[in-house]
Amino acid sequence: MNKGKKLKLPKWNEKFIVPSVLSADFGCLKNELKKVEKYSGWIQLDVMDGHFVPNLSFGPHIAGCIKNITDLPLDIHLMVEKPSDFIDAFVEQGADIITVHCESENFENALKSIKKYGLKSGIALKPKTEFKNIIKYIDRVDLILIMTVEPGFGGQSFIYDMLQKIKEVRDFLTKNKLKKYIQVDGGINEITLPYALNSGANSFVMGSAVFNKKDNRKIKKMYNLIYGG
């Protein structure tokens, strides 16, 4: 049981895959996770409330269940209208990282709560949100999540216009010597991953590209794309 145990996270400048369980088969979730663990930096849980995005997904209980069946850190991506209402419950269930959207209500308070618990914090941007909108919050977060699809549903096509935003974030962090993860989420697969990688991202959320396969050849291929194998 890993709940309450601080797990080792990848370094801020490492490149790694983040499987999103939104696309996993929950009928055999433990086996699904075991297949991808050795290729992954951490596991992501996409939390949706049906208000901030037009879909519902998981609550804190599911986070606790996942925490108990994987040796990887757990990243909670809150796609919710009021993220502050969810922080305590997900911390209790063993979250290691919590990411909130800058478009959500009182997200600054949510970031404060995350840091109060000593967790890594992330700030996410929808495709239409400009990077300049979050610059003043950069020193409060460890991760910047650039959505490369509209949040809310898996299996969408990658928005190539987001490559310029990834480059903008990478250039800003490099210029200011800031050590932050740059994560991308949405439509990442063997075709789009090299574009996101070359634009400066280092954390790659993947759902349908790695789960619901008869074997793990897909994730092996993308792992090799990242590491040049």
In the predicted model, is pLDDT for residue 96 greater than 90?
yes
Extents of the domains making up the chain: 16-227
Q: Look up 215 and say whether it is catalytic.
A: no
pLDDT band for 2, please (50, 70, 90 cuts): very low
Q: In what order do the strands lie in the sheet with 43-48?
A: 16-19, 203-206, 181-185, 143-147, 120-125, 97-101, 74-79, 43-48
In the predicted model, is pLDDT for residue 207 greater than 60?
yes
Adjacent-strand bridge partners of 151: none
CA angle (183 as vertex; 138, 31 as ends), nearest 5: 135
Tell me the whole-structure pTM to 2 decimals. Answer: 0.93
Q: Look up 85 and say whether it is catalytic.
A: no
Note the CATH architecture for domain 16-227.
Alpha-Beta Barrel (3.20)
Question: DSSP class of residue 40?
Answer: B
- The closest of 194, 191, 190, 128 to 161, measured between CA atoms, is 128
Residues 148-164 pLDDT 10s: 999 877 667 899 999 99
pLDDT at 92: 96
Catalytic residue (choose from 49, 75, 142, 185): 185
The region of weakest confidence among 6-15, 79-88, 176-185, 193-202 is: 6-15
Q: What is the share, in percent, of the chain residues with pLDDT greater than 70?
A: 93
> Distance between CA 112 and CA 212 in Å, rounded?
37
Stretch 183-203: mean pLDDT, rounded?
A: 96
Stretch 73-91: mean pLDDT, rounded?
A: 97
The answer to whether 123 and 135 are in contact (CB under 8 A) is no
In the predicted model, is pLDDT for residue 187 greater than 80?
yes
Stretch 84-97: mean pLDDT, rounded?
A: 96
The answer to whether 125 and 134 are in contact (CB under 8 A) is yes
pLDDT band for 212, please (50, 70, 90 cuts): low
> In sequence order, what are the residues at sequence separation of 6 or more whose Cβ sits closer than 8 angstroms to the Cβ of residue 185?
20, 44, 77, 124, 145, 146, 147, 148, 149, 151, 205
Sort strands 143-147 and 181-185 into parallel, antiparallel or unpaired. Answer: parallel
Catalytic residue (choose from 46, 49, 75, 142): 46
Number of H helices, E strands in the chain: 7, 8
- Is the Cα torsion angle 66, 52, 10, 137 positive or negative in sign? negative
Pure H helices in the chain: 29-36, 60-67, 87-92, 107-116, 162-175, 193-199, 217-227
CA angle (146 as vertex; 121, 86 as ends), nearest 5: 40
pLDDT at 1: 39
- Category of 48 on φ-ψ map: left (φ > 0), alpha (ψ -120 to 50) or beta: beta
Stretch 97-123: mean pLDDT, rounded?
A: 97
pLDDT at 68: 93
